[in-house]
Every structure is written in C-alpha cells, then in structure tokens.
Amino acid sequence: MSSGDPDPQIPPMPDRTPEQAQQEHRSAQSAWAPPQDGGTGPGSVPGAAHSPASHDSPEPHDPAHTAAPPADGSGPTFDGGAAAQAPGSQPTAPHSPAPQPPYAPQTSGAHGAGPAGEVPQPAPAPGYAPGQVPTTRRQERKKSTSKMPLILSLSAVGLVLVLVVVGALIVMNVNRSQYGPETVAQEYLDAVAAGDLAAAQEITPATVPNGANEALVDPDIFAASSSAIEDIQVSEADINGDTATMTAAYTIDGQDYELPLTADKSGRQGVFFDQWTLQPPVLQTLSVDLTQTADATVNGESVDLATGATEYAVMPGAYELVVPETTYTEEGSSGITVGFAPDAEPQPATLNVTIDVTDAYKEDVTEAVNTMLDECLESGDLETECGFFDRDSFANADEKETYDTLQTDGVEYEMTERPEIVVTDYGVPGTGSFYTDDETPGEVEAEVEDENGAEYTLTSELRPSGTVTVDGDSISISFLYNG
C-alpha cells in the first residue's frame, strides 16, 4: 500500500464506529514490531506471539521495521473474524478478538523466506532488542565530551580554593613572622642597641616618669654611651584581641635585664598585614646631687645640669658624669649603668658624685671667719654680730641687772684664744659651712664701764659656727653664731 492509499477498512465491532476502528488500527500498527525470529515463511502471522494485547505498554515505534499493508489494497484477515459487512447491516460474531497488527510479507533472506513480492527487512543488529534505539559512537562521544566543561570548571574551582588556602597560610605566616608585635618590639630594641635615639623615638617615644629632668635624654649623650644593650631576645607574644604582651630579655655589661612590653593593633599595612604600635617603655631615672655643675659633662658631652638634688631620665646604657675642678672644688666623677625601668613609677637610681673642696677653699673660709671676728673686736660695741656678749648669756638675775647698767660702747676687746675653725664641704650649691672644734674653742675678754664709771671685765668662750657663700673665687660669711 502506498503512502497515499487509504487505511484498510477494519470491520467495526458492535460497540464502536468505523472511525474508532480505524484509530485502533493505526495505534496497533504503530506499536507493532517484527518478531525476533525473522518470520517463519508463508502463512505465518507475524507478531502473533507479540500481539498488542500481550504488552503492558507499546514499544517505541521504529519506522524501519513497520510493516506495509498488502499491495493489492485488501485488508487483513483475522482468525475467527468475519469479512466486512455491507453498509447498513449489523455485524455478527461469536466473539470480538483483539485486532491483529498488519504484517509485512517477507522475501527469502538470511532470516527466512516469504511470499513473492514481500518487502525484505534488514536483520537486527547483534544485541538489538525490539523497541531499543541503538546509540551510535558519535552520540556516545558527544555524551562523553559534553562532560568536559563541567570537569574543567570544577578543577578550576578546586585550584582556586587550593591557591586561596595556600595564600592565606602564606599571609598568616608572613604576617606573624615579619609584621607581628614581636617584630616592632625587636626593631625598637635594635635601634636602642645601635644608639640611634631618633629611630627608637620614631617607633615609640619612651615615657619619662615622675616629671624627671630630660637633659640626659640627648642623642649625643646616648650615642656616646660606652655600653649598650646586647643579646636581645623577644618572647612570643600573647595576643588577646588587639593587644599583645611579651617580654624582652637583654644584657648590659653582662648584667641581665627584663622588660615587659605591650603592643596594640593599630590597622593594616600593605593591604594584608597587621600594623602594631608598641606602647612606650618607661625610662629609668637617676638621682644626682651636685654642688658644682660648671663645665660638667656626661659621656664626654657638655650638659647643663642643675645644682642640688635632681632626678634625671635616661635611656638604657652607661653614664659617666664628670664635674671638673674649680678654685674651691676638686674634680668629681661617677658612673652608672641602667636599663629600662621595671615599672611605671620606678625608684630612681642614685648617681653619687663626690666633690671634695680644695685646701684653698678651707683656708679662705677660715680666713673669712677670723676676719669677721676681728671686725667685731674692733667695733668697740658691747653687742656685735659675732655675739660675744648679750644679756641672755648671763646666768642669774644679779648679773643680768649689772649688765643692764653697762655702757654699750667704748668697750676694749682682747682675744686671748683664737678658736680652731673646721670647714665642711659644700652643703648646698654655692653655700659652705664651718664650725668650731670642740677641743679648741676660743676666748675673748672685754673691759667695760657702767653708768657710774665702775670698770668690769667680761669673759666669753668663742665657739663660732655658720655658713659661707661661694661666688666664683669669692667667699663671704653669710651667718655666724657664737654658741
């Protein structure tokens, strides 16, 4: 039957119309598949063992295996079926068997011979099952290659993740080893060890405690130190949030020191790395008491020092203080080595500088005392600055009454014994002192008359003491007491 021929007429069943029968025929024809044994020859009914009624669901249709209707245009017959009835007649049949699909007559071939004029059918491929569409190699290759972009994408993602992890580990390692709080602490201590005060202060300006004098925190004095910190070891920092604490150990002249340090995270540097700011360490202080400061030097550098007891802040190192000799003082010097302060309010270390007075000073002070005593003797006054005599020096009331009757001028004095004066070192800057040796006091006598002209001889022990003022090469008595 050609493609343009009408569908074969299917006898209608009692309960269906011709149109329904034709529709069932088409459904059965599209669902039919050739038998796997290739046919048995003339007279056999293809598909009898595989009738549509024997399948739960129709197999996919393969046009290559669809049987064509007979060329003469006659319709198929059914076992036990009846020929088509004339229009208008009622079909009668003892039963209504399920319609069989049309078959394709087969010719002789590898799989059997059929009636002449039958259309030959190709042999099924090995492994072929009815209704299965074979997959070509090109389709398999296409399926295989279609997975490559996904595999490459997953590989790229995995590589990126690996690089991210490796990069993060590298950043963490570099961040801790080169940009951690220990690094900034090491840089600061290295600058101190090199005597580079400017570099150290740029990292963090050290704290000057107790309002100490900063005259010795001087770049030249610090750089000229004969000893510096050595063997610096910074412990691993204990980081808590944005604060890191650590301990630095170092030595100066073989003496061990420890310094607690704290750093604060203050931002980022170079996008990935932490920025740490070192909290300022506290400087040690020196207590110096000087009576002479002219032309004084520290570590060979001239410095303007204060007279009297003064507290100075110093960087870690060695300090040699020298006060040169003058007319009245000998050279004085002293040295000390200090580290950083152990706490925020350190006790000052004492730098003792002993400045002895010269013999010229002792002689000039003794001479100044004797000169003053002589001036008092020559004054002729009963009461003088030297305190030879006064009313309170008399022991009883009778002597006090007699003293009240004495003339206050015209007194003739005689020093029968001159006291031995002991001169001390400078007590405070520019001031010296003296006193009388207990074993060798002096003595003075005075001849005086009362109101009636009666003459009296008064005797007094001389034990002068007092202070002197030193002004360059000049000494003057600032206070004298006869006690």
Are 471 and 430 in contact by the 8 Å Cβ rule? The answer is yes
Tokens of 117: 């004029």
Q: pLDDT under 50 in the chain at which residues? A: 1-7, 10, 32-33, 35-117, 127-128, 168-169, 176-177
Q: Let me know how long the chain is.
A: 483
CB-based contacts of 445, cutoff 8 Å, min separation 6: 413, 414, 416, 457, 458, 459
Determine the pLDDT at residue 307.
86
Q: Whole-angstrom Cα distance, residue 181 to residue 408?
A: 84
Domain-wise residue ranges, the chain = 1-126, 178-278, 284-351, 359-482
Same fold, 178-278 and 284-351: no
- Give the pLDDT confidence of 359-417 residue by residue, as tens digits: 999 999 999 999 999 999 999 999 999 999 888 878 788 888 888 999 999 999 999 99
Determine the pLDDT at residue 182.
94
Determine the pLDDT at residue 399.
87
Are 286 and 162 in contact by the 8 Å Cβ rule? The answer is no
DSSP string, 44-72: --TTGGG-GGG-SSPPPP-GGGPPPPPTT
Q: Whole-angstrom Cα distance, residue 413 to residue 445?
A: 6
Q: Please state which CATH number belongs to domain 284-351.
A: 2.60.40
Pairing of strands 284-290, 349-351: parallel
Q: Phi/psi of residue 391, each to 5°? A: -55, -40
CATH topology of domain 178-278: Nuclear Transport Factor 2; Chain: A, (3.10.450)
Tokens of 377: 């003797």
What is the torsion angle, in degrees rounded to the nearest 10, for the CA atoms of residue 54, residue 60, residue 65 and residue 68? 80
Q: Which residues of 1-25 are buried (b: 16+ CB within 10 A; e: fewer)?
A: eeeeeeebebbbeeeeeeeebbebb
Q: Which residues of 383-416 are buried (b: 16+ CB within 10 A; e: fewer)?
A: ebbbbbbeeeebeeeeeeeebeebeeeebebebe
Are 351 and 288 in contact by the 8 Å Cβ rule? The answer is yes
> Spelled out in words, what is the top-level CATH class assigned to the domain 359-482?
alpha beta
Contacts 24+ apart (CB under 8 A), 165-172: 171/272, 171/273
Bridge-partner residues for 298, per DSSP?
A: 301, 321
